[in-house]
Amino acid sequence: MKRILFVCTENACRSQMAEALANHFFAQEVKAFSAGIRPTKVNPLAKKVLEEVGINTGGLRSKSLSEFSLKDFDLIVTLCDSAAEECPFLPEANIIHWPFPDPAKEKDISTFRKVRDMIKAALPEIILKARS
């Protein structure tokens, strides 16, 4: 089972959605986690759009990058530019940058849905990278 860590600045929207979507739709292949450079709290609209596609959000919480050892992951995916710039560099780590727009800037549920769907569509390729 491959382990993927999704990283954003606050671990409030994109990385939370990526973690939940990966664990829901690809549970046989990966175990996904998420973390933030400066974690805050999970955005309620992120939870809402995940629940719309049948994902239980009860266990979601913002986590700090310091809670994890980056060397324990097969793939680390930064989902925003600031996380990519601030993510600790490990030469042996498999790190990719896959930016998505920040839905929290719009504060509109349709933007959250759009980003959720973009992340879901990208997951098969991200998981393929975790295998290599």
List the CATH number of the domain containing 13. 3.40.50.2300
What are 80-126's pLDDT values in tens digits?
877 667 666 655 668 888 989 999 988 899 999 999 999 999 999 99
**Average pLDDT rounded to a whole number, residues 50-68:** 95
Identify residue 63 by its one-letter amino acid code: K
Higher pLDDT, 52 or 84: 52
Q: Which of 13, 32, 50, 80 is catalytic?
A: 80
Q: Count of residues for the chain?
A: 132
Q: How many domains does the chain have?
A: 1
Q: Which of 5, 8, 21, 95 is catalytic?
A: 8
Q: What is the pLDDT of residue 96?
A: 87
Q: What is the pLDDT of residue 132?
A: 74
According to DSSP, the residues that pair with 31 across neighbouring strands are: 3
Tell me the three state secondary structure of residue 11: coil
Helix (H) or strand (E) holding 24: helix 14-25
Q: pTM of this prediction?
A: 0.93
What radius of gyration, in Å, describes the C-alpha atoms of the chain? Answer: 13
Q: What is the pLDDT of residue 15?
A: 96
CA 37 to chain CA centroid, nearest Å: 12
Q: What is the pLDDT of residue 102?
A: 92
Expressed as residue numbers, the domain containing 33 is 2-131
Q: Which of 46, 77, 87, 119 is catalytic?
A: 87
Q: What is the pLDDT of residue 84?
A: 65
Contacts of 87 (CB under 8 A, 6+ apart): 7, 37, 65, 76, 78, 95
Alpha-carbon gap, residue 18 to 35, rounded angstroms: 11
Q: What is the number of other CB atoms lying within 10 angstroms of the CB of residue 7?
A: 28
What are 4-51's pLDDT values in tens digits?
999 999 999 999 999 999 999 999 999 999 999 899 999 999 999 999
Is 8 catalytic? The answer is: yes
Is 13 catalytic? The answer is: no
Q: What is the pLDDT of residue 87?
A: 67
